Structure 1
Amino acid sequence: MKIQIDHKDFELMIEHEQVKKRLRLIGIQLNVAYEYSIPVFIGVLNGCFMFMADLMKEVHIASEVCFVKMASYNGDQRQEEVKSLIGLSHSLKGREVIIVEDIIDTGNTLKEVIQMVEKEEPASIAVCTLLLKPDALEHEFEELAYVGFEIENEFVVGYGLDYNGIGRNLKDIYRAV
């Protein structure tokens, strides 16, 4: 199936059913790993909103949720500088923290978020991402613990990911053609 967004063509890459199955597995892993603590899930907006909402439906342990908002893209072009648009609203000192990302490509945004969280002196930091582009990574992350899908270094939309602000509402994930 192909779609067009803002004069750019995309083809189906990952169906929503595959995403749901993977989310159930990640949810089980999180429930086991954090069974005896009350972790703080920090979603990185805007892209994580659908993934985080569905993920939290699979997390059955006591937990808190908050969000940060970072800007690293202009259309389909990555920017060098990552800007913090909304910062942390919770004290994280001594807390177990899980950073929830929609996608990790270069890792520049994640690096900034981790640095922001580390300043709060948490007990631990883990990263959960729906999509990972290993070939695009410019940084190494020992915190990367939960990965939905590894994908090629392609531009993708849907399930929270956008192109020029459009396409976040699509339930499937599409790649540019």
Structure 2
Amino acid sequence: MNIQIDDKEFELMLEYDQILKRIRLIGIQLNVDYEGRVPVFLGVLNGGFMFMADLLKEIELASEVTFVRISSYEGASSTGNINQLLGLQMSLKDRDVIIVEDIVETGASLHYLLNLIKAQEPASVKVCSLLFKPQTLKYKFDELEYIGFEILNQFVVGYGLDYNGLGRNLRDIYRVVVKEK
């Protein structure tokens, strides 16, 4: 079933149950990898809030949670200009940090965020992203350790991701329908 958001039509790409199954597996891996440690989960707002919430339900470790809000989007594409709207509220020095992202596309936002975090001298930094578009990546990240789904270069909404502020509340993830000309 297709849905309409603003001026674009979208079709179902990933159902909520598929998303939760993949998150459960990522959670298991994080519990193993960080056993005996107390990581800081750093959620990237606004898009990562649903992923972060479901991921934390799978974490059995003692951990802390904080958020940042950065943006590089206007409409359906990244501007490449990063705006930090809500900054880090805690020290990350000597901490194990896990950045929780909704999607890594060009990597511009992640590159910006990693530079901010590394300046605080954390013990370690890893990235956990629900979605990853390898074809659009403009930076190389050794820190990109946990990936939910690799997807093609298609615009997606739902499960925290939006189009012009709409669609974040959808449980499933939808991709834009490209009309043949």
Q: Deviations over 1:29-77 (max 9, x none)?
A: 0000111110000001000000000000000100000000001100112
How many residue pairs end up in the alignment? 177
Aligned mates of 1:119, 1:44 — CA distance in 2: 18
Indicate the SS of the match to 1:42.
Answer: strand
Asked if 1:70 corresponds to 2:67, the answer is: no
Q: Deviations over 1:86-129 (max 9, x none)?
A: 11011110000000000000000000110010011000000000
Aligned mates of 1:65, 1:114 — CA distance in 2: 17
Cα drift, residue 7 of structure 1: 2.0
Aligned mates of 2:63, 2:86 — CA distance in 1: 21
Runs of at least 4 residues off by over 2 Å:
none
TM-score, scaled to structure 1: 0.99
Counterpart AA for 2:78: R
| Most deviating of 76-85 and 166-175 | 76-85
Indicate the SS of the match to 2:9.
Answer: strand
TM-score, scaled to structure 2: 0.97
2:51 is matched with which residue? 51
2:100 is matched with which residue? 100
| Most deviating of 74-83 and 90-99 | 74-83
Counterpart AA for 2:108: N
Indicate the SS of the match to 1:135.
Answer: helix
Return 5+ residue gaps in structure 2 as ranges: none
Aligned mates of 2:9, 2:41 — CA distance in 1: 34
Aligned mates of 2:44, 2:113 — CA distance in 1: 8
1:164 is matched with which residue? 164
Cα drift, residue 156 of structure 1: 0.1
How well do the aligned residues superpose, as a CA RMSD in angstroms?
A: 0.5
Aligned mates of 1:154, 1:8 — CA distance in 2: 13
Aligned mates of 1:174, 1:30 — CA distance in 2: 27
Aligned mates of 2:28, 2:62 — CA distance in 1: 14
Counterpart AA for 2:167: G
Identity percentage of aligned residues = 61
Aligned mates of 2:19, 2:80 — CA distance in 1: 29
Return 5+ residue gaps in structure 1 as ranges: none
